[in-house]
């Protein structure tokens, strides 16, 4: 990465606009601004876009065991310059990312002693800021404090009157099925008023708000074992603040209050702002200011894959079915088969080695499921008690490497505590030593991890496709949920959703004779999901026996649809209603439109990027799909008419 310092300015506090107002920082294009002030000995900020308020004045500061750094504060100095650099990634929504930001370091004193620097990055549509805490004089003269515990983060996000919310509640630890909560699997509710605090538990990141003057997506990034993951709580009205993990996470093991060395820093808090939702769908703020934490031990590869569990459930985790999936996966030209829970007892280690050898002979490799447990929930699924212990884990990983396993899916973490962040990081670092890729389920939002940990693939951290198996209610919500994820959850991190099926029912009989939700979305919708949800190694819910009965052009689409993307453009969307999104792989654009409005969605789309070789996949009013090649439009406009629960897809070359 090349960092260029373009300009450098220095303001002493004497140059501040007034005693209260310290500075107004502006994005490189001047449209996004962040005003910093000190009022009543508290540090505050507000955010505006085109001069119109996005966030009202909001307090800053941390309460620690060393001191209360949310009060007694005064502005000491602020230094402002500009940073610009590029970076590349294979696994993100864009492959070549250009970053230009206004960079500020605001020094705050407490009772005349330097307390912390608030480091701020202001891009055209994104703000990232973090606290860099300084060593403090100790009670004994001459000594100083070398560490601190963050008891309460006072960082607020005060939403103006008239804001509505698009939020998913935090699950209190130790609750839910087999005490596995938080599993980060509650639904998002669209366009709710502010003021509710989800029965005291607050809300998971990312949090989307529609303010009267524009959209704001609030999240955090750069979380490692050096801190906890946080969430937002609503104190009253439109006032939201950062909260430490809930005491009962991890079955009450580990502390809720993260510890840091001094000097030391918090993760980045991020705010992505736009008058429409494009800056949110297209943001790269989770990755811009984090760094790879280790070198990849090998060149990791990506692609599509399959998994039997979503249709066949636990019974499908047997030698015969997995071999069938390997054959099918090879036929589709995919990379990976994910073997889910109970493989150790239902297949056995020797047979897994034989399956892995068979898969490799067909150009496919296996991912193996593991329980993260441990001592923090009652989930009985095995293998257990391996991934939580360094000795057992590394021994297991050496065995996996010896039989050619691609990677692991580790489930049931159930905690945002710093101790759990340590476990995530330890699994990732060890897996890299053995050349293994990592997917997390029952897991918190990954916060910048695609760039920080080079063998990290993606996490669930969403009410994912398994719920389509569990019931019709979720099936009826499938299109509604799909209009939300690219604008919220999947906007800030790869999402291991595990969707895309042609089954009418999520069971092996594909009918009502056995348990399994009834799909209501169209086949074209299912194909669109492969484009909508981004994950570099994407396991699809295809069932070989059902899939072979489908029209060849549907399978051709799924054989060719990429899992790695070079660019993204949001065309139009309203979360909870409809979504029209384009992704580019090399020179091919995939434009997908889905509809959850309850009525037909008619649009004339301006798509100048489609120059030749254009194919339109669309649904009729009965959700029956068809495919046709169409001529490039002279005006670059294309009509779509998408029925409720259906989709339209345009594929073409630029």
Which residues lie near Ca ion (CB under 5 A)? 441
Minimum separation from the CB atom of position 459 to Ca ion (A): 10
Please identify, using beta-carbon distances, which residue of 181 and 280 lies nearer to Ca ion.
181
> Tokens for 210?
């529609």
Phi (first) and psi of residue 281, to 5 degrees = -65, -30
CA-to-CA separations, 96 to 77, 99, 180, 292, 466, in angstroms, rounded: 35, 10, 38, 16, 33
Please identify, using beta-carbon distances, which residue of 441 and 603 lies nearer to Ca ion.
441
Minimum separation from the CB atom of position 517 to Ca ion (A): 15
Using a 10 angstrom Cβ sphere, with 0-12 exposed, 13-18 middle and 19 or more buried, the burial of residue 161 is exposed
Minimum separation from the CB atom of position 346 to Ca ion (A): 19
Minimum separation from the CB atom of position 466 to Ca ion (A): 5
Minimum separation from the CB atom of position 198 to Ca ion (A): 19
Whether residue 121 contacts residue 83, with contact meaning beta carbons closer than 8 Å, is answered with yes
Please identify, using beta-carbon distances, which residue of 93 and 441 lies nearer to Ca ion.
441
Using a 10 angstrom Cβ sphere, with 0-12 exposed, 13-18 middle and 19 or more buried, the burial of residue 628 is exposed
> What stretches of 372-451 adopt beta strand conformation (E)?
407-411, 437-440
Minimum separation from the CB atom of position 516 to Ca ion (A): 16
333: left (phi over 0), alpha (psi -120 to 50) or beta: left
Using a 10 angstrom Cβ sphere, with 0-12 exposed, 13-18 middle and 19 or more buried, the burial of residue 2 is exposed
Minimum separation from the CB atom of position 462 to Ca ion (A): 9
What is the β-pairing status of strands 207-211 and 52-59?
Answer: unpaired
Please identify, using beta-carbon distances, which residue of 501 and 588 lies nearer to Ca ion.
501
> What stretches of 389-513 adopt beta strand conformation (E)?
407-411, 437-440, 456-459
Please identify, using beta-carbon distances, which residue of 409 and 583 lies nearer to Ca ion.
409
Tokens 């960082």 found at: 155
Minimum separation from the CB atom of position 474 to Ca ion (A): 12
Minimum separation from the CB atom of position 224 to Ca ion (A): 23
Helix, strand, coil share of the chain (percent; to 5): 20, 40, 40
**Cα–Cα distance between 654 and 636 in angstroms, integer?**
12
Please identify, using beta-carbon distances, which residue of 448 and 498 lies nearer to Ca ion.
498
Please identify, using beta-carbon distances, which residue of 32 and 439 lies nearer to Ca ion.
439
Please identify, using beta-carbon distances, which residue of 210 and 441 lies nearer to Ca ion.
441
303: left (phi over 0), alpha (psi -120 to 50) or beta: left
Please identify, using beta-carbon distances, which residue of 110 and 441 lies nearer to Ca ion.
441
Whether residue 421 contacts residue 254, with contact meaning beta carbons closer than 8 Å, is answered with no
């Amino acid at each position: 990465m090349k960092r260029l310092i373009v300009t450098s300015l220095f303001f002493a506090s004497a140059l501040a606009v007034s005693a209260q107002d310290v500075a107004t920082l502006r994005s490189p294009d001047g449209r996004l601004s962040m005003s910093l002030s000190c009022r009543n000995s508290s540090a505050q900020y507000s955010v505006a876009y085109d001069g119109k308020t996005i966030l009202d004045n909001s307090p800053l500061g941390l309460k620690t065991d060393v001191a209360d750094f949310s009060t007694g504060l005064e502005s000491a100095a602020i230094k402002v310059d500009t940073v610009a650099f590029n970076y590349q990634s294979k696994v993100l929504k864009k492959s070549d990312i250009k970053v230009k930001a206004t960079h500020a370091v605001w020094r705050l004193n407490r009772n005349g002693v330097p307390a912390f620097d608030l480091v701020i990055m202001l891009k055209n549509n994104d703000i990232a800021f973090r606290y860099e805490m300084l060593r403090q004089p100790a009670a004994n003269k001459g000594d100083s404090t070398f560490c601190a515990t963050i008891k309460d983060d006072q960082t607020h996000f005060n939403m103006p009157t008239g804001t509505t919310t698009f939020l998913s509640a935090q699950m209190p630890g130790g609750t839910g099925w087999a005490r596995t909560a938080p599993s980060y699997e509650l639904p998002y509710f669209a366009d709710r008023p502010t003021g509710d605090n989800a029965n005291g538990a607050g809300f998971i990141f990312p949090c989307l708000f529609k303010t009267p003057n524009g959209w704001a997506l609030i999240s955090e990034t750069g979380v490692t074992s050096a801190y906890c993951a946080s969430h937002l709580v609503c104190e009253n009205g439109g006032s939201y603040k950062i909260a430490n993990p809930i005491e009962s996470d991890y079955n009450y093991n580990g502390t809720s209050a993260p510890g840091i060395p001094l000097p030391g820093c918090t993760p980045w808090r991020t705010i992505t702002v736009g008058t429409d939702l494009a800056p949110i769908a297209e943001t790269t703020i989770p990755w811009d200011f984090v760094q790879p934490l280790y070198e990849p031990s090998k060149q990791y590869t990506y692609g599509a894959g399959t998994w039997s569990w979503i249709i066949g459930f636990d019974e499908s985790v047997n030698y015969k079915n997995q071999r069938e999936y390997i054959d099918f996966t090879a036929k589709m030209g995919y990379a990976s088969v994910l073997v889910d829970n109970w493989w150790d007892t239902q297949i056995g280690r020797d047979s897994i080695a034989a399956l892995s050898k068979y898969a490799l002979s067909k150009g496919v490799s296996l991912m193996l499921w593991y329980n993260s447990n441990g001592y923090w929930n009652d989930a009985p699924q095995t293998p257990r008690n391996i991934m939580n212990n360094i000795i057992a884990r590394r021994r297991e990983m050496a065995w996996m490497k010896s039989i050619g396993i691609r990677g692991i899916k580790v489930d049931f973490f159930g905690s945002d505590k710093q101790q759990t962040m340590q476990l995530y990081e330890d699994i990732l670092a060890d897996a890299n030593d053995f050349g293994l890729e990592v997917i997390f389920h029952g897991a918190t939002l990954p916060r910048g991890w695609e760039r920080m940990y080079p063998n990290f693939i993606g996490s669930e951290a969403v009410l994912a496709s398994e719920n389509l198996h569990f019931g019709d209610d979720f099936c009826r919500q499938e299109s509604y949920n799909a209009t939300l994820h690219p604008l919220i959850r999947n906007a800030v991190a790869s999402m291991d959703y595990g969707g895309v099926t042609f089954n009418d029912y999520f069971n092996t009989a594909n009918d009502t004779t056995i348990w399994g939700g009834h799909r209501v979305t169209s086949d074209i919708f299912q194909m669109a999901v492969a484009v909508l949800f981004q994950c570099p190694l994407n396991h699809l819910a295809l069932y070989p026996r059902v899939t072979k009965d489908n029209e060849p052009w549907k399978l051709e689409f799924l054989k060719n649809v990429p899992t790695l993307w070079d660019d993204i453009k949001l065309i139009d969307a309203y979360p909870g209603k409809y979504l029209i999104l384009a992704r580019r792989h090399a020179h091919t654009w995939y434009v997908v439109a889905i509809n959850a409005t309850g009525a037909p969605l008619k649009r004339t789309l301006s798509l100048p990027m489609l120059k030749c070789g254009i194919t339109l996949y669309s649904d009729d009013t009965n959700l029956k799909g068809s495919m046709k090649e169409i001529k490039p439009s002279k005006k670059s406009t294309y009509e779509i008419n998408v029925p409720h629960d259906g989709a339209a897809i345009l594929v073409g070359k630029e």
